[in-house]
Amino acid sequence: MTWLLMIGHRRAVDRVRAEQRFFGRNTKYEAQSWPGEQDPVPELVDRLVAGEAIGRCLG
């Protein structure tokens, strides 16, 4: 009977550990894939260049 309880306990511990690993992996992935603060300069340069090109075409 004791061995049955031990097996159940070990399975429960394994399940908790698996959940913790899953949560840790997801947290790590989310932290790495978060874009954070983006540099607005390239977007502003693209807008400026596009505006100048449109001005030349219309001008």
The pLDDT tens digits of the residues spanning 8-41 come to 999 999 999 999 999 888 888 887 777 767 778 8
* Alpha-carbon gap, residue 59 to 13, rounded angstroms: 73
Confidence (pLDDT) at 31: 78
Confidence (pLDDT) at 39: 75
Per-domain boundaries in the chain: 1-34
**Which pTM does this prediction carry?**
0.47
* Alpha-carbon gap, residue 30 to 36, rounded angstroms: 11
Confidence (pLDDT) at 52: 92
Confidence (pLDDT) at 47: 93
* Alpha-carbon gap, residue 44 to 42, rounded angstroms: 5
Confidence (pLDDT) at 14: 95
